[in-house]
Amino acid sequence: MSEDDTSADNTPRTDGSGEVEETTPRRSKRFEALDERAVTQDGFVNEWPEVGFVAMESPNDPDPSVTVEDGQIVEMDGKTREEFDFIDRFIADYAINVDKAEEAVATDSLEFARKLVDINVPRSEVVELSTAMTPAKLVEVINHLDMAEIIMAMKKMRTRQTPGNQAHVTSLKDNAAQIAADAAEATLRGFYEVETTVGVARMAPLNALALQIGAQTGRGGTLPQCAVEEATELELGMRGMTSYAETVSVYGTEDVFKDGDDTPWSKAFLASGYASRGLKMRYTSGAGSELNMGQAEGKSMLYLETRCILVTKGCGVQGLQNGGISCIAIPTSVPAGVKEVAAENLITMMADLEVASGNDQTFTHSEKRRTARMMPQFLAGTDFIFSGYSAVPNYDNMFAGSTFDSYDFDEYNILQRDLQVEGGTKPVDEETVLEYRERAVKALQTVFEELGFPPISDEEVEAAIYADGSKDMPDRSVSEDIKAAEELMEEGVTGADVVKILAANGFEDIAENMLGMLKGRVAGDYIQTSGIFVGDGEFDVVSAVNDPNEYQGPGTGHRLEGEAWEEKKSVRFAVDPEDI
């Protein structure tokens, strides 16, 4: 065999015969290392405007327009009244200031966008026209802003001057003792509102009861909510077990509304049920829900979300929880998604509504990315920077986990301290936390005993005081707890009954606070836009009415200073230099 004869081996030959040995291209070690980073586990997709995979500025978004005849909008955003779907009709009839509509839409959008960030233009002047704009006009204005300008505009446009925060308090085991203890700790840490939900739906009454008792132990005046099916949620509120609701959803296309057997009018009717009983109410929406249902009509997420915001406005509801919320992974998968989430918060403020600005559900494996997503709302300040900071470990968070959880308490406090920014929480010391957790769970133990519910044992009390999460709690009989929950509803137990039990058994302070919550419902002052109770047991209402945002540049608006700033400085790791 000659040296040129390759027939006996696998060497490829010039005529294409023989086997080609596959080789793996050599990889950059830099790229191999990057492939191991957490962010590569996130979902990212390219834009596809035809089906709605676009955060902002879809080529299918309508151009703004409006025509008013005899005090009625007869044409809006390129559609005549005859072409309106029921969302257009509802917005045109109930959400837009018709007297100013033509002036607002005729305003130069770029000039108006500049007014949003101009410290010489007061919020009230902006709102006069922004509440008269059509959905397409609001979107056109916001599309002129970059991310820093959106933050600047949010700082001026939020309705209440004092920023705040809301916490999730849930348990994987629906353990009432744990919920009571965690609610007490959460309110001690400064959250104005606490929200729970369930693993097993029929446990809702017990979870709501535990949340209310725990919340009023930590700070008299913290607003509690139990997010469950709407009829049960309303009934729990009417019985005085909760004080607000925010999980009534609205959507940006007619087909998605129809899928839920709802209309804007039915949502408005439900909202009136809450308001008439003195219960605070926010709606829920957020970019991506229409795309998730396959019914985005090729519009941008921001345009559809703007329709949700104006439906909320038209229903007369005081505010909205938006910012992606349960669909946050959808907007954050496309370019400018995090910017869009902040933009929808801003438009809610421009509609003169209270905003609970998301940050309440996990969407990324990246530590940097989850913090970056939160920073616009954190730096600008919103009515509720988180519509659910998880005050428990995320494994216990029954809302599918939050952007920040209980393991981030110290880091979040440090961020406030580093930047001198009001984030709505405050440092606490371990001894005080244990004291309040014990007080809460013992109060609940007594209420359970007096109502004849399955006993909360001393072992369970002890575990709840020191627990990090449900993994530290002993198991209970779920079937027996469900029977107790059903009994609570069937026998008509109310918040007033619980107040009497607490007062008669040495828990007068918690009873007074819970009674104060019931009185607050009668007065109804806290159902004003952005209403909260401040203080501890004073039940002083602070809202957009008596605490309007008057930010107009340096030296104005809410400043983290004085007693609140001193409180933020006192993180538990800080040492006195004289001791070093």
- Active-site positions read 166, 168, 195, 246, 321, 360, 387
DSSP 3-state assignment of 80? Answer: strand
Cα–Cα distance between 424 and 150 in angstroms, integer?
A: 21
- CA 439 distance to own-chain centroid: 29
Q: Which of 234, 208, 201 is nearest to 223 (CA)?
A: 208
Question: Measuring CA to CA, which residue among 431, 358, 425 is closest to residue 391?
Answer: 425
Whole-number Cα distances in Å, 149 to 40, 56, 145, 341, 450: 29, 16, 6, 14, 56
Give DSSP secondary structure letters for 326-357. GGTTTGGGSTTHHHHHHHHHHHHHHTT-EEE-
Q: What is the dihedral angle through the alpha carbons of 47, 133, 315, 319, rounded to the nearest 10 degrees?
A: 70
Q: Residue 355 belongs to what H/E stretch?
A: strand 354-356
| Closest by Cα among 37, 16, 19, 35 to 27 | 35
Q: Among residues 232, 123, 217, which one has the least CA distance to residue 179? A: 217
C-alpha atoms less than 13 angstroms from C-alpha of 57 in its C-beta half-sphere:
10
Crossing angle for the helix pair 458-466 and 430-451, to the nearest 10 degrees? 150
| Cβ atoms of 307 and 272 closer than 8 Å | no
Of 576, 158, 177, nearest to 345 by C-alpha is: 158
Residue with token string 């921001």: 302
Answer yes or no: are the C-beta atoms of 244 and 223 closer than 8 Å. Answer: yes
Token couple for 71: 């005090």
**Strands annotated E in 376-504:** 387-390
Residue type, 288: G
Bridge partners of 104? none
